[in-house]
């Protein structure tokens, strides 16, 4: 019986030690989260440019918006009738709307209830330069469409 009690005491002491370590690690994680700013998962040292924006657009946007930005990407086939993907090749569509488009890329568009989200947010994925580069590229799409 004495050996059993001693074994139980040792097991209890080990559990208390693990719990204390767990509390300390959770506190350290909370502290780290509070002190660090939220940054994109992938950051790009590239300067803002339409060339960089085209790369980002192809990688992240074309699946819905299409390779030429007409709103006819492969994923658009699965959208409901109330979901709308704009045609960026229409002259003047983004003119004067820089802040609105940038905000849409950063925060996404949630005009409908889940799961019918219109557009995901990219602020945790793309750097600010990549977001601005994407806008710079989208602004070139009407001219590219006219040349074809």
Q: What is the pTM of this model?
A: 0.67
* Region class of 91: left (phi > 0), else alpha (psi between -120 and 50), else beta: beta
pLDDT by position in tens, the chain (length 148): 556 556 666 666 666 556 555 556 656 555 554 544 555 556 667 799 999 999 999 999 999 999 999 999 998 888 877 777 889 999 999 999 999 999 999 998 876 666 566 788 899 999 999 999 999 999 999 987 777 6
């Amino acid at each position: 019986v004495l050996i059993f009690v001693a074994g139980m005491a040792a097991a209890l002491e080990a559990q208390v030690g693990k719990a204390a370590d767990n509390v300390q690690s959770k506190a350290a994680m909370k502290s780290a989260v509070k002190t660090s700013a939220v940054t994109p998962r992938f950051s790009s040292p590239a300067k803002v440019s339409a060339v960089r924006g085209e790369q980002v657009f192809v990688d992240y946007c074309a699946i819905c918006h299409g390779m030429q930005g007409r709103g006819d990407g492969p994923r658009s086939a699965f959208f409901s009738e109330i979901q709308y993907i704009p045609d960026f090749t229409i002259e003047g569509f983004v003119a004067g709307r820089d802040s609105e488009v940038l905000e849409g890329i950063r925060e996404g568009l949630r005009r409908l209830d889940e799961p019918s989200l219109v557009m995901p947010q990219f602020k945790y994925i793309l750097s600010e330069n990549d977001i601005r580069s994407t806008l710079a590229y989208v602004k070139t799409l009407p001219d590219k469409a006219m040349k074809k």
